[in-house]
Chains A and B, each alone.
Chain A
Amino acid sequence: MTKKLKKDLLKMEFADYKSLLPKKEEVTPVKNQKPVNLGDLRRIQVFPPVYTILVDELSYYNEKLFKGVILTEEVILGWLGKTTPILNLKGHRILLVTQPFWIFFTEDFLFQYSEKLGQVSDPLSKKLLDYAERKEIPETIQGKYIRLVMKRLAKFNVYSLFKFLDKLETYETAPQIIEVSPTIAETLEEYSFQKAAAEKNVFKGKNFLAKVERLKTHARLILYLPQEYIGKKAIVRLKEKTLFEGELQRDKLIIEPLPLLLDYSFLEEELDVQV
Chain B
Amino acid sequence: MKNYKPFFEKFFNNQLTSEEFEKFLSEIEKIIKKVFRTSFYAQIEEFFQKLCGTEYLRELAYELLLRFLTNRDYLLSLNYINEKYIFSCAKNFILQHLSSGFKSVKKEISFANLESQESLEEEKINLEESLPQYVVDYLETHRIYHIIRILKERLTSKELETLCWYIYKQIYQEEFQLNVDRNVIYKRWERLRPKLREILREDLDEEITSSKLFELIRSEICEKLSYILK
Contact = CB atoms under 8 A, between A and B. Distances in A.
Given A10-B146, A48-B85, A86 B128 contact: yes
A260 B87 CA distance: 51
B96 interface: yes
Contacts of B39: 9, 76
B125 A41 contact: yes
Nearest to B66: A93
B215 to A, nearest CB: 12
B71 interface: yes
Contact of B77 (A19, A28, A85): A28
Given A19-B84, A48-B88, A75-B92, A92 B120 contact: yes
A20 B41 CA distance: 24
A134 interface: no
B218 to A, nearest CB: 14
Contacts of A5: 40-41
B17 to A, nearest CB: 26
A93 B93 CA distance: 6
B73 A83 contact: no
B74 A140 contact: no
Nearest to A80: B207
Nearest to B148: A8
B67 A94 contact: yes
Contacts of B127: 85-87, 124, 127
A79 B142 CA distance: 10
Interface in B34-55: 37-43
A76 to B, nearest CB: 6
Majority SS at the chain B contact face:
helix
12 contacts: A2-B41, A8-B145, A9-B39, A19-B84, A28-B77, A76-B91, A76-B142, A88-B100, A89-B96, A93-B66, A93-B105, A94-B92
Contacts of A143: 202
B30 interface: no
Interface of B: 37-43, 63-64, 66-67, 70-71, 73-74, 76-78, 84-85, 87-89, 91-93, 95-97, 99-100, 105, 119-128, 131, 136, 139-143, 145-147, 149-150, 201-203, 205-208, 220
Contacts, number: 161
A131 to B, nearest CB: 11
A119 B95 CA distance: 22
Interface residues of A, number: 61
A95 B146 contact: no
A242 to B, nearest CB: 39
A122 interface: no
Given A31-B73, A79-B139, A91 B146 contact: no
B67 A93 contact: yes
B126 A6 contact: no
Given A91-B120, A94-B67, A8 B149 contact: yes
Given A32-B73, A87-B128, A118-B124, A82 B207 contact: yes
A88 B77 contact: no
Contacts of A141: 146
Contacts of A12: 38
Contact of A45 (B74, B122, B140): B74
A153 B99 CA distance: 28
Nearest to A76: B142
Contacts of B206: 81
